[in-house]
Amino acid sequence: MKLDFSRDRVLAVVAHPDDAELLCAGTLARARQDGAAIGICVLCQGDKGQPNKPIRNLAAVRRKEMKAATAILGAELFLGEFADATLADGIPHRLKLVEILRQFRPTLVLAHAPEDYHADHQAASKLAEAASWSCASRGQKTKTAPQDAPPAVWFMDTINMSGFVPGFYIDISRYADVKERMLNCHKSQLARGTDGDFSPLNELMQLQFKARGMQSNVSAAEAFRQHHAFKRTQAW
Ligand SMILES: [Zn+2]
């Protein structure tokens, strides 16, 4: 089976500034290589992930890090600008994401799995699911015109693979270095590697893409499952 993204517009909708690197940047890089348009929408500012030695203006620092990382990927960056640990599936959040979706006009949305660990990830999953349906509703008004059809939705692997049963794997053997270069832009997060409430991110990411690679007979992979719902499932 040959998966081809060349006709796609792929948007990752993630909770925090480094989530796309950990869970789907290899797939985005591969989609871009196929000729797809790619984007990352980061809903939260990353303003509360402080290392032991606090950083002033953390949200601004993390915005800069995100811009550097998405420039490596060649992706368009969209920001929800919500505060960390406040994300919820509410009307203002939905409308903001509907407008972002209409601006980018994805054919495929990569969303957090509903069972992922962090409350912001769980809320981001709900929001992505709801907004990626409403973005094609003519009755739902925002500044930009509705899309013709709702995009397909793939749920991404969870952080450290906990509780996630993959539906399929994307071979990212040729793009693992892109993930690593992107993650290295997130210096404020990497600085938390030895903090008691955190895990070294490089190691976590490498272990995950190698384990998913081992499960699918390649050197590196990212895992997903399709959202099996009316008008959301695609055939190859
Ligand atoms: Zn996160």
To the nearest whole percent, how much of the chain has pLDDT over 90? 86
Cα 117 to averaged position of ligand 1 atoms, centre (Å): 9
Cα 81 to averaged position of ligand 1 atoms, centre (Å): 14
Cα 15 to averaged position of ligand 1 atoms, centre (Å): 5
pLDDT band at 52 (very low <50, low <70, confident <90, very high): confident
Helix (H) or strand (E) holding 155: strand 152-156
DSSP letters spanning 42-108: EEE--TT---SS--TTHHHHHHHHHHHHHHHHT-EEEEEEEPTT---S-HHHHHHHHHHHHHH--SE
Cα 236 to averaged position of ligand 1 atoms, centre (Å): 30
Q: What is the CATH number of domain 9-226?
A: 3.40.50.10320
* Of residues 146, 223, 183, the one with CA closest to residue 70: 183
pTM over 0.75: yes
Non-local (6+) Cβ contacts of 3 within 8 A are 170, 236
Residue 198 pLDDT more than 70?
no
Cα 122 to averaged position of ligand 1 atoms, centre (Å): 10
Residue 139 pLDDT more than 70?
yes
Q: Which residues surround ligand 1, an ion (CB under 5 A)?
A: 15-16, 19
How far is it between the farthest Cα atoms of the chain?
50
Residue 196 pLDDT more than 90?
no
Q: Where are the domains of the chain?
A: 9-226
Q: What pLDDT score was predicted for residue 1?
A: 62
Cα 43 to averaged position of ligand 1 atoms, centre (Å): 10
